[in-house]
A and B are shown apart, each in its own frame.
Chain A
Amino acid sequence: MAETMLIAKGICKYFPGVKALTGVDFELKAGEIHCLMGENGAGKSTLIKVLTGVETLDGGEIFLEKRHIQPRSPQHAQQLGISTVYQEVNLCPNLSVAENIFIGREPRKIGRIDWKEINRRATALLIKMNLDIDVTQPLERYSVAIQQMVAIARALDISAKVLILDEPTSSLDAKEVEHLFSVIRKLKEHGMGILFVTHFIEQVYAVSDRITILRNGSLVGVYKTAELPRVQLIAKMLGRTFEEFNAGIKTKTQIAEVNEQECVFLQVRGLGSRGAIAPFDLTVQKGEILGLVGLLGSGRTETARMIFGLDKSDSGEIRIEGKRLKILSPANAIKQGLAFCPENRKTEGIIDNLSVRENIILALQAKLGWRKYIARKRQEEIADKYIALLSIKTSGKEQLVKNLSGGNQQKVILARWLITQPKLLILDEPTRGIDVGTKAEIQKLILQLAEEGMSVIFISSELDESIRCCDRLAVLRDRVKIAELAGEEIEEKVVMQTIAGV
């Protein structure tokens, strides 16, 4: 048996009105990949924050290699040997790759920063991870996947004994994930303890040795991955039986091919912008869920942004319910009954220092304008209604939205748009970084909304999700819309082949 690297005993953490963790035990061995699983709000992020010194613990003890430690800050945790790579890349996009890796601990020569040495070591480090890129370029030039790798390289170079990966794969495509896994398997062989948090069940079974499951801030159990069937895993995470969970998602209804003009809500012709997306045509009918599929960077988000008036188009036209109009800003789009849940929840979605109530009413208030202020009482009614309707887990409507877990923040943004009663809802990766239970809830909600007559444009990196939810799929590749699939064609193999262009 490998020796124990990290032990956490009886960890407790309280937030105002919330018990985030109560008496959680956790153990990580050297040379092991250990998965931490649980729904949103189960306490995964909190546990990681406690281990890495972002939050101080309210109870319990942490031992690293049998020594009692009390991480005071992420820097301190790093010195102790616990490095973390977060879900959202925490680097400086305007600095070079090499600078990002060595920031704060630059090698020096006669008191001055030795740039040659920095670049040489950065290149060597990345080549070890099979990544051959120009390290002098600013980080923002590279894809999120590469940025993630750089973050890991940085964590590794700081003499890590324990590496914590907090949902590193949520924005990577399959090939990049495989690449990442090969890297962490290598690290495991070198005796490092790796704590891996993800929502992708496939990935759990692909790499991990053991699984620790949390639910509502308490420990459910620790299991060997090989001995825990998937159904069991999901059931344990949700605290219900798998049958119950599976019955939640209804099978897709095939809507009849109706092409009558009055059924079309949105019609786009030749809309495009040089450098962002080639001119494309698109129609969305009332009550239809149109999926945009394609690889990362294929132009899905760009398409949505342009329709919503976030980016300028240099050609083409948009018709809504037959009327030709120009959408020059999100405010314009909202007036026409459009709504857009952006992909980056933190930077484009929530206003983190405002309360749940204020976040929920924001879009409706923007639509009404500043003069027609929604009365406080009405705001509270709306907030209460939607907190209940979407079962948003919060200690109250006045809680700051930054204190909510990722999935609940996503629900707040959904609520923000639903109260504007949109006719077309654009969802960009609405289920990214969200646990299975909430994912199913959101999918169910989308299907229900479509049934009530709302049109939906649905963007997801998870193919099975798109296949399950959408009536029609528009396929994009390299910023060009290449095909539309409907009916029988919406099937994994066909879609994959279309994306791949076989």
Chain B
Amino acid sequence: MEIWIKLWRIVTNSRLFWPLAALAVVLLFNFFYTKDFFVVEIKDGHFYGVLIDIVNRAAPLMLLAIGMTLVVATKGIDISVGSVIAISGAVAASLIGGNLEYVDGTQKLVTLVPMPVAIVAALAVTTLLGMWNGLLVARVGIQPIVATLILLVAGRGIAQLITQGQIITIYYTPFKFIGAGYLAGVPFTLFIVLLVFAVILYLLNKTALGLFIEAIGINSVASRFSGIHVSKYIFLAYAFSGFCAGVAGLIICSNVSSADGNNAGLFMELDAILAVALGGNSLDGGKFSLLGSVIGALVIQSITTSIYATGVPPEITLVVKAIVVICICLMQSTSFRTIIFARWGQKRGSVSESTTVKL
């Protein structure tokens, strides 16, 4: 009995316990209410199923959440990522172009520049935009939310400017592979997320970057006194967030084969922040967990997918989603749990109450 209580305490104290519990609750709901939710089939050599679909659709959000986690860890926030997604798609689409020409009598698609160049250009532009945010926050000293608000507003305009107000459709099929392709039967997007995640996790754990970012988020003054180039690392965090948004933008653009400056990535910055919070990270900066944020992104996508799957009328999906999110947040809040458990403890008598107090 004693051992089990101890074990329970170790498990619940782990940073990832509550994000994982939230994911489990959402999945459990689907186990009972959604038909064939856990069924994974193999069709045409690819894995198919709701779960695969969730992971695939969550890919852009997971990328955003990874970038956002680092920014939030430095006590900042980046609300421009949604607009950056639109710009990323606009740059890629307008560079790849969509001209159908007749060459030697057959219809052929001609790209303006080779696809790899377009991809690199889109990522370079978004990273530059991230750097712009970083410059405003780290060097000029503007509050993060205001600094990134500038790009949130201007970004959609820039995207429209690039696409000249049109929705550009991409007919070039190889580009579709990024967002809709399969590698070894698994969506290609998953490999992209894994690669970014693995590289950044390696950098954070095998170099001092993780330590520095946490130190800056907890106490930037003391970090500066200790000789850390505070503004440099804050700058890098925003640049990286821009890069992540760029990759996410390519995936979204490729998935729908078009660049829509107005609607691509709309409100996704909010989902990204939510993913970070659901991942058990404090928006006040400091200690963080990348894996937590990724799980948070999966929770959000699972909710969205299960709302569609259970047939909630589309006009009220956002309300349902909000209610679920509130419940999860309450579940994760220590003070809320203390209140609930204290009530519960009182009902069971004073003995258990005194033990909870000592915890």
Contact = CB atoms under 8 A, between A and B. Distances in A.
Interface string B226-248: 11110000000000000000000
A398 to B, nearest CB: 13
A351 B215 contact: yes
B207 to A, nearest CB: 5
Given A354-B215, A366-B212, A331 B228 contact: yes
B222 A353 contact: no
Given A351-B215, A370-B209, A331 B227 contact: yes
B227 A330 contact: yes
Contacts of B214: 351, 353-354
Interface stretch (A217-225, A267-275, A340-348): A340-348
B358 A350 contact: no
Contacts of B209: 370
Contacts of B139: none
Given A353-B287, A373-B207, A347 B227 contact: no
Interface string A364-380: 01111111111000000
A363 B228 CA distance: 8
Interface in B202-233: 206-209, 211-212, 214-215, 218-219, 221-229
A362 interface: yes
B286 interface: yes
A328 to B, nearest CB: 11
Nearest to A374: B208
Contact of A310 (B206, B211, B215, B225): B225
A362 B226 contact: yes
B286 to A, nearest CB: 5
A330 to B, nearest CB: 5
A362 B215 contact: yes
B229 A56 contact: no
Contact of A351 (B208, B223, B227, B358): B223
A329 interface: yes
Contacts of A366: 212, 226-229
A330 B226 contact: yes
B319 interface: no
Interface residues of B, number: 23
B339 interface: no
A334 interface: yes
B199 interface: no
Contacts of B223: 351, 362
B3 interface: no
B225 A348 contact: yes
Given A331-B228, A349-B225, A353-B287, A371 B207 contact: yes
A363 B208 contact: no
A161 interface: no
A386 to B, nearest CB: 15
Contact of A329 (B219, B229, B357): B229
Nearest to B206: A373
Contacts of B287: 353
B358 A362 contact: no
Contact of A365 (B206, B211, B221, B358): B211
Residue of B206, B214, B225, B226 ringed by the most chain A CB atoms within 10 A: B226
A347 B222 contact: yes
Contacts of A371: 207-208
A349 B227 contact: no
A333 B211 CA distance: 21
Nearest to B286: A353
A288 interface: no
A484 B221 CA distance: 32
B358 A58 contact: yes
Contacts of B208: 365, 368-374
B215 A352 contact: no
A224 to B, nearest CB: 37
Contacts of A372: 208
Contacts of B358: 14, 58
A416 interface: yes
A354 B218 contact: yes
A134 B350 CA distance: 53
Contacts of A56: 357
Nearest to B354: A58
B225 A340 contact: yes
Residue of A14, A330, A334, A366 ringed by the most chain B CB atoms within 10 A: A366
A39 interface: no
Given A353-B287, A370-B208, A370-B209, A363 B227 contact: yes
B221 A347 contact: yes
Contacts of B207: 370-371, 373
Contacts of A471: none
A333 B286 CA distance: 26
A358 interface: yes
Interface in A1-44: 14
Contacts of A350: 219, 222
Nearest to A417: B226
Contact of B224 (A330, A368, A373): A330
A352 B206 CA distance: 23
Nearest to B216: A351
Contacts of B227: 330-331, 333-334, 363, 366-367
A351 B219 CA distance: 6
B218 A348 contact: no
A114 to B, nearest CB: 32
Contacts of B357: 56, 58
A267 B223 CA distance: 27
Contacts of A370: 207-209, 212
B351 to A, nearest CB: 16
Contact of A342 (B206, B212, B215, B225): B225
Given A330-B227, A348-B225, 5 more contacts: A347-B219, A353-B286, A354-B215, A362-B223, A370-B207
20 contacts: A330-B225, A330-B227, A331-B227, A333-B227, A334-B227, A348-B225, A351-B214, A352-B218, A353-B286, A354-B211, A354-B214, A354-B215, A358-B211, A365-B208, A366-B212, A366-B227, A366-B228, A366-B229, A367-B227, A371-B207
Interface of A: 14, 56, 58, 310, 329-331, 333-334, 340, 342, 347-354, 358, 362-363, 365-374, 416
Q: Which 7 A-B pairs have the closest CB atoms?
A: A366-B227, A334-B227, A370-B208, A363-B226, A331-B227, A366-B228, A373-B208
